[in-house]
Structure 1
């Protein structure tokens, strides 16, 4: 049986475009012992995928030219030669961008779609939710009354970070790129204030006005000039979980900005980069707590859903122009 796949056609220089990807038909291989056939229903697109398009050493191997891209997905098992998996099981895992695939069962996890919608296992109960949970609580260590600033606040991770910070008793200030996102974060997700970085005439002052007591924790999803402005307002003994640097993912030169080390040094600030995989042994803890907060109504979530397998490249590129609110999901 043939399957459609989305292939990395070439490595981009700067911002990818439609020519970076190619849609191909491919014969599905024969099912072997320990494998299952899966038919994806939902794909996650995430900023880290841009880094995997470069032929560079990182925490995860690069995509290969001529091979399908891959990422988090929810799928239905349609055939199985693996113990513990049967047709109609719903699973999640890292899957190729294909309409159907044969994959090892040991990389899959069964999920219960009666507890939460399938797409939630790619968002608030998946990698973005766990990233927010461990980054904020383990590195940020929020205390009641502290001020937490979140860049990329309307994204899949940022929305969860802000709400967990509120649960911990903090004042939460978001940074986002449109007035609609500002309104959503304050009216629907409980942020105390949100700064529109695209319209603020002086971003450093706008953050200072929103954080009259300074910044105790900065959850950095963005980098660049936004982070420069936040760090200018950082408090003594502040903590900075370094989660993402989307401002640089498509740059073709090395940006030059303020040297932040003197600020970090003289104010005894901790900045720590992390990858959610650092906490894989504690994932079950994080999912349990996130699910409890969702069921208690303490955590809310939103998604941007694009329909159609062939829309995967378009949805991925949309992340870099802020087209998503919350998690960007492609529904097949």
Structure 2
């Protein structure tokens, strides 16, 4: 049975390509025709969706080679969402909770192939919106964390980083160091099990940061999970032990830059150091590891139920507050995964 929808529903659209960092006025809350059920699709009422920094690149007008396509003015934003199936299509039935990529709207018509059942073992369905699979995949497939490792996580208070440090410890790491641009978030990182925190806000002197990192990891690092790039990646190269493994999952240094379109993140690295230390450096792309999602979901659910891991989440209520949520995320106002919940 299909619920009766109003003639129009609401969605958040790109109003204009931002000039620099996006502001709420670059997005608009639009009334759009309600989606109509179609073969091979499920009609979903969204309950919550994730707000992620990568949207800055997708709306900046210069996105290229990105896993998701760039957006143009008039396009509805998108991103991971959890919703309830209203109009069923095999194998889903009405009432099922599904994870899908069409957030930033009240209702979505989603191809069946783009939907995944929300694991009922998760204590909170919103946990399906975590970025933990990227952290878990990077640490197990690229960096291959092992017992006794010293691990550095950049951007440790974000959606990926707030889980990465905990995952590293669960995988056997001996010491985990995190970075954050906000000194106010150091207490949270300590609660999440980070053994040391190094701050790196705007205008940080590279030499000063490298010195503070050396104090936090006097014997160097074995693993880097990098969400930032920039001077933090360069300092990590200097701190690398022989055989260190670097996994890159983001480039916030470029995506959150006040100038440009967030589509590049140039950095100067010491190639000599990389060679003589035998450092391996690789980017993590989820589609190249299709088995990771199910593996992560299983372990995440068990870790949550046992209390071995926490899922830090900032909840923003109401679609009308979504534009401000994106600006707040980019400004560093939030910690953990940021979700907009739709009452």
* TM-score of the two chains, using structure 1 as the length reference: 0.91
Q: Check whether the contact 2:85–2:93 (CA below 8 A) recurs between aligned residues.
A: yes
The correspondence of residues 9-158 of structure 1 with structure 2, limited to 5 A, is 9-53=15-59, 54-58=61-65, 59-80=67-88, 82-113=89-120, 115-123=122-130, 128-158=131-161
Is 1:260 the counterpart of 2:270? The answer is yes
Q: Pick the aligned partner of 1:293 from 283, 286, 303.
A: 303
Match of 1:245 in 2: 251
Contact 1:28 1:102 in 2 (8 A): no
Distance 2:182 2:75 in 1: 36
Pairing 1:172–2:176 present: yes
CA–CA separation in structure 1 for the residues paired with 2:91 and 2:192? 39
CA contact (8 A) 1:68 1:96 kept: no
CA distance in 2, matches of 1:74, 1:47: 19
Q: Aligned equivalents of 1:147 and 1:260: distance in 2?
A: 21
Say whether 1:215 aligns with 2:221. yes
Structure 2 counterpart of 1:2, from 4, 8, 16: 8
1:235 aligns with 2:235: no
Matched, 1:159 2:170: no
TM-superposed deviation, 1:52: 1.5
**CA distance in 2 between partners of 1:117 and 1:164 (Å):** 19
Instruction: State how far apart, in whole Å, the 2-side matches of 1:89 and 1:143 are.
Output: 38
Question: Aligned to 1:182, which of 171, 182, 186?
Answer: 186
Number of residue pairs the alignment of both structures matches = 326
Which range moves more in the overlay, 102-111 or 68-77? 102-111
Matches within 5 A, 1:273-284: 273-284=283-294
CA distance in 1, matches of 2:265, 2:81: 34
Cα displacement (A) at 1:256: 6.3
Any stretches of 5+ residues in structure 1 without a counterpart?
none
Distance 1:258-1:56 versus aligned 2 partners, 3 A rule: closer
Q: Is the 8 A contact 1:92 1:111 kept in 2?
A: yes
- 1:142-183: CA deviation from partner (whole Å, max 9, x where unpaired): 222221011111111112211121121321011112333211
Aligned mates of 2:155, 2:71 — CA distance in 1: 25
The TM-score normalised by the length of structure 2 is 0.89
CA gap 1:45/1:224 in 2 versus in 1, 3 angstroms? same
Is the contact made by 2:230 and 2:253 (CA closer than 8 Å) also made in structure 1?
Answer: yes
Other structure's SS at 2:98 match: strand
Say if 1:76 and 1:107 are closer, same or farther in 2 by CA, change over 3 A.
same
Residue pair 2:152, 2:221 contacting (<8 A) in 1 also: yes
Q: Tell me if structure 1 keeps the 8 A contact 2:254–2:266.
A: no
C-alpha root-mean-square deviation of aligned residues, in Å?
A: 2.0
CA distance in 2, matches of 1:257, 1:243: 15
